[in-house]
Structure 1
Amino acid sequence: MTTTAEVRPSLSLDGTWEFRHESRDGWRTTTVPGPWQAAFDDLRESSGTADYRRTFLLPADWAGREVWLRFGAVNYFCIVRVNGTEIGRHEGGYLPFEFVLPPDCLRPENQIEVTVTLPTSEADRFPDFPFPEIPHGKQSWYGPLGGIWQSVSLLARSTPHLAHCRIHADLSGGVKVDLGLSAAHSGAIRIRALGQDGSSAWKGEITADGEQAAARFHVDAPLPWSPDAPNLYRLQLELLRDGEVIDALEESFGFRRIEAREGKLFLNGEPLYLRGALDQDYYPDGICTPPSLEFLEDQLHKAKELGLNCLRCHIKVPDPRYYEVADRLGMLVWTEIPNVEQLTPNAARRLRETFEGILRRDGNHPSIIAWTLINEDWGTRLVENPEHRAWLAETFDWAKALDPTRLVVDNSACVPNFHVKTDINDYHYYRAFPERPAEWERLTEEFAGGADWTFTPHGDGTRTGEEPLIVSEFGVWGLPDPAKLTEPDGSEPFWMESGPFWGDGAAYPHAIRNRFDMLRLDRVFGTFDRFIEAVQWHQFRNLQYEIGSMRSHPSIVGYVITEFTDVHWEANGLLDLKRNPRVFHERFAEVNTDIVLVPKLERHAFWTGETIDLQIVIAAGGRHVPEGLSLRWSLAGRAGEVQAPAVAPLATSAPLAVTIGAPTLDASVNATLRLDLVASDGSVLATHAGDLALLARAPEPPSLTLACRDPELAAYLGALGYRLAKPGEADVVVARGVDADDVDAIRLGGRMLVLADGHGRARGNLRADEPPREQPFMPIVDGRPGIPVANHHYFPGLGLAERHGTMWRGDWISSFSWLKRTGAFADLPGGPLLDLAFNNVAPRHVLTGFQPWEYESRVHAGVVVGWIHKPAVTIGERPFGRGKLVASTFRLTESAPGEDPVAATLMAALIRTAAGR
């Protein structure tokens, strides 16, 4: 067969081009491909118009041939000139286009000029394509992307030539090939299909008549394509004229079938559990331009090491090499149309044109199994606009008709939006532990039960009830190691200055190390490196818990972790932006795999010597778990095993009951609960390892007495074994808030513990009484004369804020809650970050008003958000006169006295701290 290179030679025009942006004087050089925002520090956030130019020499042996100029992608609108002659215009930022070069404009040496416009939202300046009405994806999050961001090349081809090839390969071996030609042609087209090993699978000839041609043939015993066996076939095409080959083309394809039926996913007829990650497809230097084919291969190898079998390429059309690598190495891809901001008629047209272009360019890739039309209602208004719901249902049907071989999602939904008509019932929700595991469990339980809130409540949807359930976004942040992200000259990457307007400022990476030092967090974590390691393990433990929770519900058949890699300021990746692994990289496949062991416990902290009752669920994923396996467990020197039942694919076992007698220990420890599913030959099919806190009972000093005016709180403290006395006779006063009498008592040497967990009257601060208001001005702002006086004017000078509804909640941009394990708090194992042992006591309020220097010694527990922003305190102390106040927002009285070892131990530590013992 004649190769494509032999009959359609090409010349790459990648490399150095001259560049000029309208906002700057003069020309400078840049590298194509790549957005201008990646090339120039002074244009990071710029849109508008720019010019590119370069020269090329036309190869002498191309004389007499039709010459084409091809662009992989240019964002967004461009005008192309050669030697001063305009040869074409193109609108659309993600897909290829090409122009034939008129012979009369060509010379031995030629100059190309490309004027590129990336519009803003200014409709008066860009009336034909304002930014809100063009497909733009995450440019509204991570910054604009303008210019020639994919490769440019010259090609010499015949007239006519093979312009397009669409391949439909049925799992039974049937192959349908639809060809488009650049011009009418009457003649033979020679076809040959080659197998993975290069052997001939079929060959023959068809006759072209006009600009279209089609072939039908059958491959015997085809090898199906899957992530575990990415069997690819090659289709070689030769266009003949009078028996001579005038053009050739080669395309890869695979035999692959994806189905959604009976609430499940099937790949090639076999059950499929989707283990995906959201992939923004951003890169460390080129933003959206990958640095090399080798880089794409490396990141896909790492994805497979992590146990992933799918990447959800998020609202972006990637470089075509992305799919080539996924095909070759074996990775399912769920692809999405880049969103618009406003669904006007022009925007709706562009969305459909973009999908048609994606299908034309990428439709032969077996790795692509699903399309998303809209993400999270971005660009539409499904909740309020029935016309948008009707448009979405109609567009779903249109897309399914264009490509019946793949699944289509109408709107990948989150609160408060929903589905209208879809192949997959997917939903996004974020909850983090230890603060909100109960909310996560309730959401997951409702979703697994087919919650009504996933579909339109307006009666205008189509729901079969058999749509597979997939949690298509969830996760928490870790943080990358900044030392691994520096530029060759030691400077930080440009994107460290991004994100200041996201997450109420918590997404700003620059100067993270300074904030670590300012808050004296070295007193908590030891070093900055240990802090980074701790938050990465925190990310792992969250994902382990959440994946286990989902896997225990067999009706949920997949998930998509947010996300595969960090993206600039967004630090929730399994890899950082340079594709450096997190500390848990080698362990993550234990969690993110087909067969998973899920321990179910009411709590994760126990007294030493206590009996631990747990149930273990075996989730089979896409594999069958055979009979005759043993489930082995071990904890703190204790071990045992039970027989494991067989489990069908996409099912879970009945819970297996296991009782463990925790050893009696002199000191508190974090002990690893290890579970292994073991075959008779000793091989391990699945494993789980997670920590449980085993706390030793610590008797209180018999001389320590407490006073408490709150009868309910006094009864609780008495049930814990504390001796109660009158306020003037007690070592420590325990209360929900502070009044003027308490302040005076502290001034005279009193010790006080305030449990500011939201149960008392002290809502905006720790004061139970009402301080006076600012005088003499008396505007009425809330029904009462006067302006409230700032908290810092009255002891203890602290604010009390709810985490709910603020960035301290930490469900998306994670909050990192910590507790110093020194002094009286050394009896609490683990740390410094709070883990699941604290899930029943984790604070829902924080204290504000502490200065950074106070974190040295007056702050014992606190929280930071994202890149160490919005510091707040959950245990802190303030001296006053001869006395001292200790305040805590931990919820220590929500379980029965002594039932929760962490609550009881933390209460004892707080009382000792307040007493100075």
Structure 2
Amino acid sequence: MVTKTNDKTTTTTTNTYKRTEYPRPQFKRDAWMNLNGTWKFAFDDDNKGERNGWAKHPSFATDINVPFTYETKASGIGDETFHPNVWYNRTFTIPEEEVGKRIILRFQASDYMTKVWVNGTYMGDHVGGNAAFSFDITNAVDLTGKNQLVVKAEDSQSCYQPRGKQRWKEENFGCWYVQNTGIWQTVWLEFLHPERIENVKITPNIDTNSVAFDYKLHSFSGCKLETIVSFEGKQVKQFSITPDRANMSFEVDLLSDIMEWRVAHWSPEHPHLYDVTFRLIANDEVVDEVHSYFGMRKVSIKDGQVLLNNRPIYQKLLLDQGYWEETMLTPPSDEAMLEDIEKTLAMGFNGVRKHQKLEDERFLYLCDKKGLLVWSEMAATYEFSDEAIENFTKEWLEIMQQHYNHPSIITWVPFNESWGVPNIFKDKKQQTFTESIYYLSKSIDAERPVIVNDGWEHTISDIIALHDYEELGNVLYERYKDKDPILNNEIPHNNHKYAFADGYSYKGQPVMITEYGGIAFDHESGWGYGNQVNTEEEFLERYRNITDAIKALPYVTGYVYTQITDVQQEVNGLLTEDRTPKIALDKIKEVNDA
């Protein structure tokens, strides 16, 4: 059964925004309860709440609309001042039909350290603002009455924590925006048997027409594990294994008569998805059933080209920071995310570089369905230290494991523009750190390219990704037409940064211009790159000239235009913050398709 709350918010603004969708579409169960909606809320600037027993006796006067942070209008609060400690409280009851199961409390994301109490009992904490986490709260729950859930989120303005584009000063500056504090993605309960499937890592192999499943079970004694793969409603494969350990792997041949090619590949033109159901059976009873999906696709590199399914692909991407005017980093709805995807495609782009943000899994699900390519980029720290290394590495590992199965993700980007490694050009410690993250990433995912360090000063990197905001197309072309001086580190590629860190050299990798453009259009305040343009004709002439210059470079295999929307003071989007096009979408598409 699907069990959901129907909390009503208390203001017109918050009534507009409700996140009721199942938050994890790649690992979906039926028995769950959405805890989004109206919670009680309090600031704790003096950090006195734990000393004064707020966890056991919450008495918070303010309403907040979860999962929108207090800084957003959608939360019903809209206070952009930084507060280091915030508290949340709500009650819930366990449906009668779920009594007897394990009760798992899940957070899709909360920024930055999150502490949780149920009925006054401390459940634990999680550090990191972007990854999902959970607690088994069964032993603290009253199965017959109301339960008190209390959450404290601790944030800071430290540059040692991965913060992405969140400012660490009191006011916005440059390309850094209002901070994001506390719960910012869905909170929910799941009801499970002790015997259950914790996770399944799915790895397609189009060269052998097979897919590998790496299962992680919570308990398995006396159980049978059944997997059913189907395509467009037709069963392709079904098999069962008897687990003898918690971690097991199985590879299955997918060849079948479902279509003329016998295996359906995933691509932007044909985003075919296979459905898969996992069942854990004990004593002839299904004790756990999970619905998932996967795409049969391959990402590889050969002869200076990125290949998708063994064919070169020219990537035309948009920089996408995933901000909305009234909800900031939290997507307001499925419809809003789908609108961004469809407008991106309508402008002739085939993907997005999700910039300094780990996006909502439902966005990735929609990209999987629509065939939009995604570069998944880590939120940066801004200073280098042992603490920053630990914070970054732990969270990056969680994120890669969480998002691994999405076929739309074709590139990992752990570092951008030397943020968090500011002296990487010469500093061996910082260089070695980026190497360690590269190899850690490859140990989790051997296939997808990993970019270290997007923009400039690369160490080990599968793609050489260069940033250049030159506004004149002819100047851009002249600068890059001879690749050797740039890729041999003889000259800075954008007049101020070298392509490689000192001691590293070009090894024949694909080259892309992964930030360019950033044209601001007739705006009284805010900024863009270069001079603002005043008319559609001026914009299109500049956009066409710089884009054509990149496409005329035979060794460059793609580009990333900055950016899809305006974001607060940065007004260089192709769309405004409310997603109104500044230029007719088909005119942008004409340039990209030329």
The verdict on a shared fold, with TM-score over 0.5 as the criterion, is: yes
SS in structure 2 of the partner of residue 339 of structure 1: coil
Which consecutive unaligned segments of at least 5 residues does structure 1 have? 121-130, 483-495, 508-530, 597-917
**Counterpart for residue 470 of structure 2:** 431
Deviations 1:744-767 (A, max 9, x none): xxxxxxxxxxxxxxxxxxxxxxxx
Q: Judging changes above 3 Å, is the alpha-carbon distance between structure 1 residues 395 and 476 closer, same or farther for their aligned structure 2 residues? A: closer
Query: Which residue number in structure 2 is paired with residue 175 of structure 1?
Result: 211
Alignment of 1:273-292 (within 5 A): 273-292=314-333
Q: What secondary structure sits across from 1:384 in the alignment?
A: coil
Aligned pair 1:216/2:260, yes or no? no
Q: Counterpart of 2:115?
A: 79
The CA deviation string for residues 145-193 of structure 1, in whole angstroms up to 9 with x for no partner, is 0011001111110002111110001113211100111235342111001
What amino acid sits opposite 1:82 in the alignment? V
Residues 227 and 448 (structure 1 numbering): CA distance in 2 closer, same or farther, change over 3 Å?
farther
Deviation at 1:481, TM superposition (A): 7.9
CA–CA distance in structure 2, aligned partners of residues 4 and 135 of structure 1: 25
Q: The residue matched to 2:242 in structure 1 has which SS? A: strand
Residue in structure 2 matched with residue 711 of structure 1 by the alignment: none
Which structure's CA Rg is the greater one? 1
Pairing 1:442–2:442 present: no
Which of 409, 433, 443 is the aligned partner of 1:401?
443
Residues 211-264 of structure 1: per-residue CA shift (max 9 Å, x gap): 222221110121110111000011110001112100011111101111222111
Contact 1:478 1:538 in 2 (8 A): no
Listed as ranges, the matches of 1:752-901 within 5 Å are none
Query: What residue identity is the alignment partner of 2:70?
Result: W
The answer to whether the Cα contact below 8 Å between 2:66 and 2:186 also exists between their aligned partners in 1 is yes
- Return closer, same or farther for 1:16/1:536 CA change in 2, 3 Å cut-off: farther
Q: Which amino acid aligns with 1:550?
A: I
Q: How many residues align?
A: 532
2:458 equivalent to 1:419:
yes
Matched to 2:227, the amino acid is I
What is the letter of the counterpart of residue 297 of structure 2? R
Query: Is the contact between residue 513 and residue 560 of structure 2 (CA under 8 Å) also seen in structure 1?
Result: yes
| Cα shift at 1:61 | 1.5
Structure 1 position 103 matched with structure 2 position 139? yes
Q: Measure the CA separation in 1 of the matches of 2:464 and 2:307.
A: 15
* 1:480/1:571 contact within 8 Å kept: no
**Cα displacement (A) at 1:7:** 7.1
**Partner in structure 2 of residue 375 of structure 1:** 416
CA distance, structure 2, for counterparts of residue 288 and residue 309 of structure 1: 23
2:159 to 123, 127, 132: 132
Distance of aligned partners of 1:586 and 1:7 in 2 relative to their CA distance in 1, 3 Å threshold: closer
Shift of 1:110: 1.0
The 5 A counterparts of 1:82-481 are 82-106=118-142, 107-120=144-157, 131-140=158-167, 141-172=176-207, 173-195=209-231, 197-220=232-255, 221-380=262-421, 381-414=423-456, 418-433=457-472, 437-447=473-483, 451-453=487-489, 454-456=498-500, 458-459=502-503, 461=504, 463-464=506-507, 466-479=508-521
Cα deviation digits, residues 3-33 of structure 1 (max 9, x gap): 9999751111110111111249962101001
Evaluate the alpha carbon distance shift between residue 449 and residue 223 of structure 1 in structure 2; reply closer, same or farther with a 3 A threshold. farther
- CA offset at residue 476 of structure 1? 3.0
Q: 1:480 to 1:213 in 2, by over 3 A?
A: farther
Instruction: Quickly say closer, same or farther: Cα 1:203–1:542, change in 2 above 3 A.
Output: same
**Cα distance, 1:334–1:462 mapped onto 2, change above 3 Å:** same
SS across alignment from 1:404 = coil
**What is the match of residue 910 of structure 1?**
none
CA drift of 1:42 comes to: 6.0
Task: Report the AA paired with residue 234 of structure 2.
Answer: S
Tell me the residue number matched to 1:491: none
The secondary structure found in structure 1 opposite 2:518 is coil
Aligned pair partner of 2:84 in 37, 45, 48 = 48
Per-residue deviation, 1:455: 4.0
DSSP 3-state at the match of 1:413: coil
Using the alignment, how far apart are the partners of 2:589 and 2:109 within structure 1? 36
1:83-130 CA-to-partner distances (Å, cap 9, x unmatched) read: 11111211111111111113354251111110111112xxxxxxxxxx
Contact 1:409-1:424 at 8 Å conserved across structures:
yes
Q: 1:71 to 1:239 in 2, by over 3 A?
A: same
Deviation at 1:431?
Answer: 1.3
Query: Quick one: distance in 1 between partners of 2:282 and 2:146?
Result: 32
Q: 1:297 to 1:258 in 2, by over 3 A?
A: same
Cα offset, 1:404, TM superposition: 0.9
Shift of 1:449: 6.8
Does the 8 Å contact 1:448/1:553 carry over to 2? Answer: no
Aligned residue identity for 2:35: L
Measure the CA separation in 2 of the matches of 1:589 and 1:503: 21
SS at match of 1:395: helix
Identify the residue that residue 12 of structure 1 maps to in structure 2: 34
Q: 1:497-543 deviations in whole A, cap 9, x for unaligned? A: xx6xx899x99xxxxxxxxxxxxxxxxxxxxxxx98x3444332211
Distance 1:553 1:503 in 2: 25
Question: How far did residue 289 of structure 1 move?
Answer: 0.7
Please give the alpha-carbon distance, in whole angstroms, between the structure 2 residues aligned to 1:346 and 1:207: 43
1:219, 1:182 → 2: CA distance?
Answer: 27
Contact 1:310/1:332, CA 8 A, preserved across alignment: yes
Shift of 1:458: 2.8
Post-superposition offset of 1:573: 1.2
SS in 2 for 1:411: coil
- For structure 2, which runs of at least 5 residues remain unmatched after alignment? 3-24, 47-58, 168-175, 256-261, 490-497
User: Does the residue aligned with 2:586 lie in a helix, a strand or coil?
Assistant: coil
Q: Mark the CA change 1:231 to 1:21 in structure 2 (over 3 Å): closer, same or farther.
A: same
For residue 133 of structure 1, give the secondary structure of its aligned residue in structure 2.
coil
Question: Cα distance 1:477–1:7, how it changes in 2: closer, same or farther (>3 A)?
Answer: closer
The equivalent residue for 2:559 is 559
* Contact 1:186–1:209 under 8 Å retained in 2: no
Q: TM-score, normalised by structure 1?
A: 0.56
**Residue 568 of structure 1, CA deviation:** 1.2
Deviations 1:195-225 (A, max 9, x none): 1x11111111011123222221110121110
Match of 1:658 in 2: none
Q: 1:215 to 1:186 in 2, by over 3 A?
A: farther
* CA distance in 2: counterparts of 1:153 and 1:185, whole angstroms: 28
Distance 1:290 1:69 in 2: 21
Correspondence for 1:35: 69
Shift of 1:394: 2.9
Whichever residue aligns with residue 347 of structure 2, its letter is: L
Distance in 2, matches of 1:351 and 1:335, equals: 15
Is structure 2 residue 590 aligned with structure 1 residue 590?
Answer: yes
1:790-836 Cα shifts (integer Å, max 9, x gaps): xxxxxxxxxxxxxxxxxxxxxxxxxxxxxxxxxxxxxxxxxxxxxxx
Look up the SS of the partner of 1:68 in the other structure.
Answer: strand
Give the SS at the match of 2:217. strand
Are the aligned partners of 2:378 and 2:414 in contact in 1 as well (CA < 8 Å)?
A: yes
**Equivalent-residue separation in structure 1 for 2:266 and 2:217 (angstroms):** 29
> Does structure 1 conserve the Cα–Cα contact (< 8 Å) formed by 2:304 and 2:509?
yes
CA distance in structure 2 between the partners assigned to 1:86 and 1:427 by the alignment:
47
Q: Which SS does the other structure have where 1:412 is aligned?
A: coil
| 2:43 equivalent in structure 1 | 21
Moved more, 83-92 or 448-457: 448-457
1:306 Cα offset (Å): 0.3
Q: Deviations over 1:624-679 (max 9, x none)?
A: xxxxxxxxxxxxxxxxxxxxxxxxxxxxxxxxxxxxxxxxxxxxxxxxxxxxxxxx
CA distance 1:240–1:479, shift in 2 (3 Å): same
Q: Partner of 1:383: helix, strand, or coil?
A: coil
Using the alignment, how far apart are the partners of 1:50 and 1:168 within structure 2? 40
Task: Supply the AA of the counterpart residue of 1:219.
Answer: L
- Give the letter aligned to residue 103 of structure 1: N
Cα distance, 1:450 vs. partner? 5.2
